[in-house]
Structure 1
Amino acid sequence: MISSISDPNAGVTGTPGEAHVTAILQCVDDTRRAILAKGGPGGTPLVEDGCVFLCFWDFDGTILHGDCCEGHAEGGRVIYSGLLEEIILGGFAAGYPATPRGVAKGISDYRRLERENGAGTAYAFLAQMMSGAREEEVFELAARHFRTRQMTHVFDSSFRMIEGLRAMGVVVHVVSASPDVFIRAIAAELGLDVGRSRGIRTEIENGLLTARLDHPVTYGSGKTAAVMDEVTRARREHPEKQVFVLAGFGNSHHTDGPFLDHIADQILPAGQPLAVMINEIPKSRAFLHVSQQAVRGGLSRS
């Protein structure tokens, strides 16, 4: 059992990707129960029906081993292609021919933006390059590609944690820096709430995607803003209930660190929020760092 944030790795032992699942779920449930027991005025109990408990997950590298946009390779061998390649070949990328040469140019432009302007600009570019494409058709392509090529590369431990959180009544949100249409399609395939899964959004006009970004852009501090928006939304939808964020999950300090810091810094009426960093070099003792490699379709060799 994880005893406290001051000792963030207590109890996390054994096979990577396996033992920490129980410890994390126990930690979250302990906080949930502590809030119910004494989270009311003057340390009085709260009724479960009077509370909404939330958690927030990144997607690429956190739920999926690899990246839904960029794809995934191990030892120089392509394990699965990314949706960047698929949308170009499918004819959904404005200005890029649906050919291998078009794919190469799209990847080159993406990497150049990432190198010269930063990851946030490059991630936004992925959403904007589909301007003019019919949203429904891109959604179907993303769902099909995830279902047939990427689904078996979901981290087993992440999925078991999501299942465990949902079983205890915690509402699962996904906040990703991949394009929103991809994340909603993937959420549908995973049986997650599409309405609580978001990526980088562009405006949709007459069923067509546009290049106009719909803020906040869910990268870095933009993810924090999105988390705050979802908490506000939960309070608006349940004005008679108290809303608590119990946990956050990410895999990158630069993309997920800000929203995980935001969650870890909360002062709950009882217990402590949990911020989990998966497969990343430890930099902050505010985060619980875990390692996992096992995927739904077998054990990854990376």
Structure 2
Amino acid sequence: MRNLLKLFALSVVLIVAGANIYLWGYLPRYRPPPDLNIIYTPELVARGDYLVNEVLLCFDCHSSRDWTQYSGPAIPPLGAGRPCIDENSKPVGINFGSGGFPGRLCIRNITIDEKTGIGAWTDGEIARAIREGVSRNGESLFPIMPWFMYTEMSDEDISAVIAYLRTIPPVQSFRPERKLDFPLNVLTRLHPQPLEGPVPPIDRSDTVIYGRYLSKIARCEFCHSPRVRRSVDPRPGRLMAGGVPFFMGKDMHYSKNLTPHEDGLGEWTKDMFIQRFRLATKPFPVSEEDNSEMNWVEFSGMTDTDLGAIWDYLQTLEPKEMILLDRAD
């Protein structure tokens, strides 16, 4: 019996040791940064400007926001990061459970400052971070950065985004490294998935395919789809079905059902959908409870063609009744 107990104890030690070697020695999964050959042209930078400011809305997360104004516009200097959140922070944004953050998380500076931003990063390192969720040093990014929405972003569009980011004035704005409590420090290492190779341009002439592409990189799916607990994947059968809770001041708001169900977009037309994005083109004073987590002001800059493509894609989804959730996952 004593020998069996020793053997069992040894087995447990070996399993734990093996798991630790795997978690901290082989994860996250990543590949070397891609060798991007970006040729900087005015057209490429203009495309990047459009993507960063009207579609991806990078500054929504990488800048502080003014919630006394409708849509919470980003506060200059744009891209300089925002204050860290921790266990004492007020819950804001998408609701993954009440209470403070389990650890410390700081949204980084994405200006081209070489010491505190991404100025010393290669184009390939920036592309890998955005699309594959791995930092310059090989560390996994916390999935509040929705890299999993950007995995299908074409090399053409990621090059445009990088070209534009290189034009943003550098801002020296230091952000401390994150500290994640268990089990987040382990779970975060499991998510990144390296791309297998180049990502070709999307066929913009097929509006359904292009609309799906835009709905991913504009994070429609991220905010309007309930997620599997402790995963970056949407719940099966609930894609774009809405009901995801967001903290807005003392209130809870819920994302809209974007499927063609009667409590979603079932009674809408394409023109109604497009015109909804034209209702707020400039910020205006508003209480936090009456505000919107969705930055309608910035999204109002999307073209009719792109918004129409998103509509065409959404109309192909299976109609689903909206279910209001207690938390997003």
TM-score normalised according to structure 1 size:
0.26
The higher radius of gyration belongs to 2
Higher share in helix: 1
Larger RCO, structure (CA 8 Å, separation 6 or more): 1
